[in-house]
Structure 1
Amino acid sequence: MQVLQVQLEVGADPAEVGRARRWARSRLLVSGIRDDEPLAETLILLISELVTNAVVHTGCPAVLRMLFGSTGAPGSAGTVRVEVADTSCRPPQQRHAEGEDTGGRGLELVDGLADRWGWQPEGAGKRIWCEVDRGIPVIQVQMQPCAHGAGAHGAGACGSGGCDAVGRDAVAREPGGAYEPSHAVTHRA
């Protein structure tokens, strides 16, 4: 299996969610997923929810990763995986929003849109991930380093202790790599 991974460090400011969406749209386009495809809109919504949850609930930077997988066989569709690593060790909890509530629907939305999702501990924090299976063949692309965060990694600090861990484990996955989560929900096998 061939896996292309790109990543972006997201600051602790909720305004960073918009920057993460714009960055993700450009990476989807380079991977062959057009802006006008329903798949692109689904992925952007998933990214927006996961990044918002990480930034709002921890108050610290996070790392957004997108992985584009393919078996490499002609006509293979592949999977797009979105991961958001944060510095909180608290497991994600689905809440049930009612009526006019402005929050509490994020993981419910992820559960409804993703083919699979889950989370796993990562150092002092956790990584929440979701996967969406592509319905079209994957095209082979070659990404170039970008000054705006593609492939960037490193540490950030927000002064609350523990946020300096952001960016660790920022290496590309081995083909057929560790996609086995410790906690997962699967839909549409």
Structure 2
Amino acid sequence: MSDWTYHSNLPLAAIADAPYWARRHIEDIFPKWGAASLVMNAQLVATELVTNGVRHSGGSMELPEVAITGGRAMPTKSVLPKKGEGAIIRLSLSYEEGRLLIEVWDKSDTPPAAQLPDFVSERGRGLFVVSAFCEKWGWHPSQGGGKVVWAELH
């Protein structure tokens, strides 16, 4: 692997809003890297990989219940794990002129399995979407356990 001009690591709690924070992180740093033209595609790919990471780490994709109070949406119950009990995933972004690598680590050793998309189901299209937006994608076991699923965009 080459030396990347820019690199960022973001640990995320394996909960339903992890994809949101991954998108915000990309939106924040890509213009600073001179990669603003890749923001939308990178957000889409990162959302799919992070969502899969949450699911395969045993995290919850359950969104909090909310109530409107004083014109603001306020959670009525928390979906955050108790301190010390929650799974973590890691988003890693590497960029050099014209090339972006998105990597997501999760604690599962189970390899990702691309499926034929079922466009009615809520699940099962993630890697199909990733392959449509990336030059290539793959995975490898991580030292110390878990796996890294990666995607490269040009």
Q: Find the aligned partners of 1:95 and 1:32 in 2 and give their Cα distance.
A: 34
Aligned residue identity for 1:61? I
Q: Is the 8 A contact 1:14 1:56 kept in 2?
A: no
Other structure's SS at 2:29 match:
helix
Secondary structure in 2 aligned to 1:89? coil
Distance in 1, matches of 2:12 and 2:39, equals 20
Selected match of 2:21 from 19, 37, 50: 19
Aligned to 1:176: none
AA at the equivalent of 2:91: L
Is 1:63 aligned with 2:90? yes
Match of 1:114 among 111, 134, 140: 134
Q: 1:40: Cα distance to partner?
A: 1.6
TM-score normalised by the chain length of structure 1 = 0.62
Cα pair 2:103 2:151 within 8 Å, conserved: yes
C-alpha separation in 1, matches of 2:90 and 2:33: 20
Which residue number corresponds to residue 77 of structure 2?
Answer: none
2:149 aligned partner: 128
- Aligned pairs for 1:40-51 (under 5 A) are 40-51=39-50
Per-residue deviation at 1:97?
Answer: 3.1
Work out the percentage of aligned pairs sharing the same amino acid: 30
Q: Distance in 2 between matches of 1:131 and 1:91?
A: 18
**Could you say what the CA RMSD is over the residues aligned between the two structures, in angstroms?**
1.4
Q: TM-score scaled by structure 2?
A: 0.75
**2: CA distance, partners of 1:98 / 1:107:** 12
What's the CA shift string for 1:89-143, capped at 9, x where partnerless?
000001223241111000001111101111000021100111111xxxxxxxxxx
Contact 1:7 1:66 in 2 (8 A): yes
Structure with more strand by fraction: 2
Counterpart amino acid of residue 44 in structure 1:
Q
